Amino acid sequence: MPETHASPYLLEMRGILKQFPGVLALQDVQFNLHYGEVHALMGENGAGKSTLMKILSGVYQKDSGEVIYKGQSIHFTSPRQAQLAGITTIYQELNQIPQMSIAENIFLGSEIQRGVLLNRAEMKRQASQLLQKLHLEIDPRTPLSDLGVAQQQMVEVAKALHHRADLIIMDEPTSALSSREIEDLFAIIRELKSQNVSIIYISHHLEETFEISDRLTVLRDGRYVGTYPTQELNVDGLIRLMVGRDLSDKFPKEIFPTGKEVLRVENLTQGNRLKNISFSVYAGEVLGIAGLVGSGRTELVRALFGADPIDRGSIYIDGQPVTIRNPRDAIRQGMGLLTEDRKQQGLILKMNTRENTTLTVLKQLTPGWLTNRRAEAALTQKFIDSIAIKSSLEQLTINLSGGTQQKVVLSKWLATQPRVLIFDEPTRGIDVGAKVEIYKLINELASQGVAIIMISSELPEVLGMSDRIMVMREGRIAGILPRQEATQEKIMEYATEKVKQTITA
């Protein structure tokens, strides 16, 4: 028999107001959550979703309003208080200690002891059971640093299962997961629902929210728009609610005449990760790179950019052989790389927009011992205006939305006037409106003759924005498809073992 409760809601948030200096983040926002429900919280970057959840989990304090949890008015002053009350958050930016083992991370703060010593055997046993539930065949003694981002994300899910939470907040839980891992996660979510656990689900992948959620609440510009049964909406209707306008063309691709060859790669090899990779990219072209997790996509662009050493192979820029031993060499040769993890590798979060934008050109802005702050500010303001960065010169990038952070990273590379610009997961973790803005910037760069390489795990994005699509499998090029011949089915055939031949161009 299911449990009965005096109220149908596990959680109610009423009239929530939150202000930061110069910013009204939330105004009269409401949200409610049934027992055993998956409730998607939707909105563009900057809509207030994260702020609302940080108030619920004790990170921020509301200025006014009421939070009722399990029938009681509550006011958490720390995340630990929320956790003890049964509220666990799985953040998009993983809160882990890479040097510690999987088991140690899962039990961090709730270690099992035997007398004065840690009971490592019992923690290992319980961690193994949790990992098996998630279909992760990994020794729990493995250091977290040995795992990929997707597996680290699943460890966070295991940690939430360990805490036996009544309410789990999932913030972009699938951003780094493969389709198989997403299926495993959704199976776990359904199992949790059957156990009367409630889940608040935040994701920019609109299709998956329709698959997994029962209801949707939409925020826009810090205000409550409405709550709807998921089955009563479709993707287009949801987008209109989120952005307040129609986005009739989600992938506003423009086709430009292909110019001369800018980048050529021949027989690039790196251990067992990359095997005899050969391809070219042309001025004004967007070469999309698709493939399953572990296919070698990110390894390839890191090797091209000098972030990781190669065993052999040749790289040519404008027909001339170049030697790239490190990222500094790559920048000198006119290359830029927007990494898939902008927070860890693309930005210095405690620095402001001006400082992040000019990181790649400080030498040019420093004729003597001191940086020319006036020139630095002028250059940054040019990008704030030209690509519509919603930030002031001195605003810390840690406080910016995901889409705005991505624009700051892009401006950093535009400052170098690149010939080749590599986007690794350019729209991961940003909302649908900001995605369209990034796509338009890609069009503009292509119109200027920049050769663009774009890695994406979202097949509609690869199909929508690429002139050609290079599919990788197990460190090799499995096939290169022109835009007019590419379909999701063909890409998946090359990405798996259904197509055996290898094509290079």
Q: Could you tell me which of 218, 264, 214 has the C-alpha nearest to residue 238? A: 218
Which single residue is written with the structure tokens 């990038």?
Answer: 397
Q: Could you tell me which of 489, 450, 449 has the C-alpha nearest to residue 469? A: 489
- pLDDT surpassing 60 at residue 1: no
pLDDT-based confidence at residue 341 (cuts at 50, 70, 90): confident
- pLDDT surpassing 50 at residue 503: no
Hey, do 9-243 and 256-334+418-505 end up sharing a CATH topology, with the first three levels equal?
yes
- Biggest CA–CA distance in the chain, Å, is 76
pLDDT of residue 499: 46
Q: How far apart are CA 236 and CA 246, in angstroms?
A: 8
Residue 395: strand, helix, or coil:
coil
pLDDT of residue 66: 96
Residue 182: strand, helix, or coil:
helix
- Residue-averaged pLDDT of the chain: 87
Asked if residues 428 and 344 have their Cβ atoms less than 8 Å apart, the reply is: no
pLDDT-based confidence at residue 501 (cuts at 50, 70, 90): very low
For a pLDDT cut of 90, what percent of the chain falls above it?
A: 49
pLDDT digits (tens, 9 = 90+) for 65-106: 999 999 999 999 998 899 889 998 887 666 678 889 999 989
- pLDDT surpassing 60 at residue 498: no
Of residues 162 and 333, which shows the higher confidence score? 333
Choose the CATH number for 256-334+418-505 among 3.30.465.10, 3.40.50.300, 3.40.190.10, 3.90.850.10: 3.40.50.300
Class of domain 9-243: alpha beta
pLDDT digits (tens, 9 = 90+) for 354-388: 999 998 888 888 877 787 888 889 999 998 988 88
pLDDT of residue 35: 95
Of residues 163 and 276, which shows the higher confidence score? 276
Of residues 227 and 5, which shows the higher confidence score? 227
Phi, psi of 257 (to 5 degrees): -60, 135
pLDDT of residue 6: 63
Name residues whose C-beta falls within 8 Å of residue 180's C-beta, 6 or more positions apart in sequence.
none
3-state helix, strand, coil in the chain (%, to 5): 35, 25, 40
pLDDT-based confidence at residue 288 (cuts at 50, 70, 90): very high
Instruction: List the domain boundaries for the chain.
Output: 9-243, 256-334+418-505, 351-416
pLDDT digits (tens, 9 = 90+) for 219-250: 988 999 999 999 999 988 888 888 776 555 67
Most confident of 82-86, 491-495, 496-500: 82-86
- pLDDT surpassing 50 at residue 184: yes
**Based on C-alpha coordinates, what's the Rg of the chain?**
24
